[in-house]
Chain A
Amino acid sequence: MNAHSGEILPAPLVLAPVRPRRPLGPGTPNRNGHLLGPGLLLLYWAILSVTGWLDPRTLPAPWTAITAAADLLREGRLQTNLAVSAARAASGLLVGGAAGVMLAFLSGLSLLGGYVIDGIVQLKRGIPILALIPFMILWFGIGEPMKVAVIAVAAFFPIYIQTHSALRAIDLRYVELAETLGLNRRQFLARIIIPGALPGFMLGLRFGATAAWLALVVVEQLNATSGIGYMVTLARNYAQTDVMLVGLVVYALLGFGTDSAIRLGERRLLTWRRTLGA
């Protein structure tokens, strides 16, 4: 072929086995992949402890937490304090959740209720829960009712907000359907409104449970005589870093366990939902 002719010949076709294009997406996820990060952190912590770079007075070794927890369990202190804390968080969550659902329905299903309740809730949302504690002490004293009230208020907001927005988001087409099928008010509520708002409520419950644990930590450091927070405060006074660490781990497990339990319930209740994460 003459290189100067300027003629461009078509490239000859060559058959080759089909190779799939390299995917641009992140690939197939591993079921237990999310354990990698915490695992690496634990490893790093263990190495620092073994080599002595981490002063046990600053942060004890991970296995110290296990032996300390075993000691506390043998003495019975961990169980009793855990039971007290769990009962506090549960009653706060129950009170706050019930109030949240009730008010969300009142303000989500009636115009007047919406005007009255939702405005107040949105206003209150701007005030951090911790800023309310002085008033709570003034109103409820420094005993158990104050603690439950603070937890209830903390749990109330996410549950109210998520339930309310789920109610407001119920498709108008379903309301039309209910009208053409001649559903009465009770059937409308049971068949359309409640199932339609359930996903939002479950999401709010998850946020609410997290908020309840958070509030629990705070109120248990205020004049408590029992509970995990009290155990940690006491340990701090005696510089028992291992017990403090146990408290921290217990809080983490409680938060994680509650969230997992609620998510499990969510999957059971919302089997009809076909979501990517399910």
Chain B
Amino acid sequence: MSASAVRIRNLVRTFTLKGVLNGVDLDIAPGEFVALLGRSGSGKSTLLRALAGIDHEAEGTGEIALPERSAVIFQDARLLPWMRVLDNVVLGHSGAAARVRAEEALAEVGLAGRERSWPHQLSGGEQQRVALARALVREPALLLADEPFGALDALTRIQMHGLLRRLSERHDPAILLVTHDIDEAILLADRIVMLDGGLLSADIAVRLPVGGVARTEAIEGLRARLRLLLGVSSEPA
């Protein structure tokens, strides 16, 4: 049995819309929360789409081993507008047991009582929580998230960070979170990997002291390091 939840070997993707991959190797342990950072066009989304199996347009080679059950969260909540919230969560499953599980998942993301709402009646943050419930109900061993909070306002994003962290602790799937937000990566992930020009350019374990000044300093240091790696100056221009 493999010790990794995800194993990627020499993944190459060419002729993609969003950036190429030039041979990526990556392992993710079961229950590990990995944030994938990179500038636009670095191939982050290409990698995620390859893992999600929806990169039909791309050409490439390489090997991928994935857990049987995986779920994807997109940047947009991608709820079907013609289905009520509960049906969106159940989608793909049927039966009374599935509906009960979906209700539980909705309660977990704080949307109990909104089962009968239409997606357009929810705020952007609530829609993204429904998407999270739809992913959870599948009990994934791997959760792929493509900038899931990128379209949300700053306050909602903070709430979603807390929610995702709680849920990842409770359900413990391996998570690959694609983001361009350095702070989000530091806050959430156990490990930060970085793509640059289609290659993995950094692989940093996030180990922060539990609290106090030491923690703040550690976060500052890590943030500066990641900015340097991304080629973003920390000084105002």
Chain A residues within CB distance 8 Å of chain B: 173-174, 176-177, 179-183, 187, 191-192, 195-196, 198, 270-274
Contact = CB atoms under 8 A, between A and B. Distances in A.
Given A173-B74, A173-B78, A270-B82, 20 more contacts: A177-B74, A179-B52, A179-B53, A179-B54, A180-B53, A180-B54, A180-B71, A181-B91, A181-B92, A181-B138, A182-B92, A183-B91, A191-B83, A191-B91, A272-B81, A272-B82, A272-B83, A272-B118, A272-B120, A274-B118
A17 B92 CA distance: 60
Nearest to B134: A181
A195 B80 contact: yes
B56 to A, nearest CB: 9
Contacts of B83: 191, 195, 272
8 contacts: A179-B53, A179-B54, A180-B52, A180-B71, A182-B92, A183-B92, A191-B83, A198-B82
Secondary structure dominating the interface of A: helix
Contacts, number: 46
Interface in B58-106: 71-72, 74, 76, 78, 80-83, 91-92
Interface residues of B, number: 18
A191 B91 CA distance: 8
A271 B121 CA distance: 12
B116 to A, nearest CB: 12
Contacts of B92: 181-183, 187
Nearest to A195: B82
A263 B84 CA distance: 22
Given A179-B53, A179-B54, A180-B54, A174 B80 contact: yes
